[in-house]
Structure 1
Amino acid sequence: MEYGTIEREIHVDASPEVVFEVVSRPEHIAQWWSDAADFDPTPGAVGELVWGERAQVAPITVVDAQPPRLFSFRWCYPGDDVKADTALLITFELTPSDEGTTVRMTETGFREMGWTEAKLLETYNDHCSGWDTFIPRLADYIGGLVSAR
């Protein structure tokens, strides 16, 4: 098995504009993924994702923002630097579909991190499990936003 890419895809009953806001704005990300987030959602901006009471702080760099269809950023583990080619890349592609949006999330760059095979396998599996939790939470959060409007 190649441990290079994780892909998840869901359909949500919300416009691409709403979904883009939820995947690109720190105040929304802190509701479905991390406990806190601090960054400007513009290409080149740097910031952080925080879990716990700053128990884990992951630096991020926004790579691309094309409202309402694409948002991507690089991130890495606490203590590591976000580098152009050696940090994990998360991309959210948003496509209008039926009465809502198809959300396709990909995470790439695992092999480029330079980890041992054991660390690569452990991290890849951990992230697969994480996205299996967080992508449904994303859909639930979007559903709650839409029903509240």
Structure 2
Amino acid sequence: MTQQPAVVDTESYTVSRTVHVRATPARVWAALTRDDLITRWFGTMASLPDLRVGGEGTFGFEGYGEFPVRIEELDEPVVFAFRWGTPAEPIRPDNSTLVRFTLVADGDATVLSVVESGFDLLGRDPFEAMSSNRQGWTEELDELVAYLEGADR
């Protein structure tokens, strides 16, 4: 199945992507929320020691630093949302965006959607940030699908 790349919506200042994953929602959920599995597809370091709404952690990317993360929504295995900010700064509305994953069962597979919003509130060019993150979500979710479907086992 050919997966479509992430798209930018310049009116709502969002980046979104939906992929079909040949893995159960439970497996996809684990890959989104467990430190040891997150790094199999997303960045080089993940720490989510307090998996609850309001819980904080970090995601690290080689060459970009460690980004603070705060969990905003958690409804296992349906919705996982976090706000992530700028390395070495506390999370604020002008330096963070909201990433919201939704999982829908499709037999033994999962339809996974991500929407990242809040680019219009950033204290920098929202179009540059959306373009960069569009590329990022295209690549990262391709890695997630490959990992969960066995190409990375």
TM-score range, shorter chain: 0.7 to 0.9
Alignment partner of 1:125 out of 126, 131, 137: 131
CA displacement at 1:113 relative to structure 2: 1.7
Query: If the length of structure 2 is used for normalisation, what is the TM-score?
Result: 0.84
Query: If the length of structure 1 is used for normalisation, what is the TM-score?
Result: 0.86
Residue of structure 2 in register with 1:98 after alignment: 107
- Long gaps (5+) in structure 1: none
Higher helix share: 1
Note if 1:108 corresponds to 2:117: yes
Match runs of 1:1-149 below 5 Å: 1-2=10-11, 4-40=13-49, 41-52=51-62, 56-83=65-92, 85-86=93-94, 87-115=96-124, 119-144=125-150
How far does the alpha carbon of each residue in 1:23-56 deviate from its partner, in whole angstroms, 9 at most, with x for none?
Answer: 1112111110110111132211111111228x50
Aligned-residue Cα RMSD (Å) equals 2.0
> In 1, are the aligned partners of 2:33 and 2:48 still within 8 Å (CA)?
no
Give structure 1 regions of 4+ aligned residues with deviation exceeding 2 angstroms.
none
Distance in 2 (alpha carbons) for counterparts of 1:141 and 1:32 = 7
How many residues align? The count is 142
> In 2, are the aligned partners of 1:3 and 1:121 still within 8 Å (CA)?
no
Identity of aligned residues (%): 25
- Long gaps (5+) in structure 2: 1-9
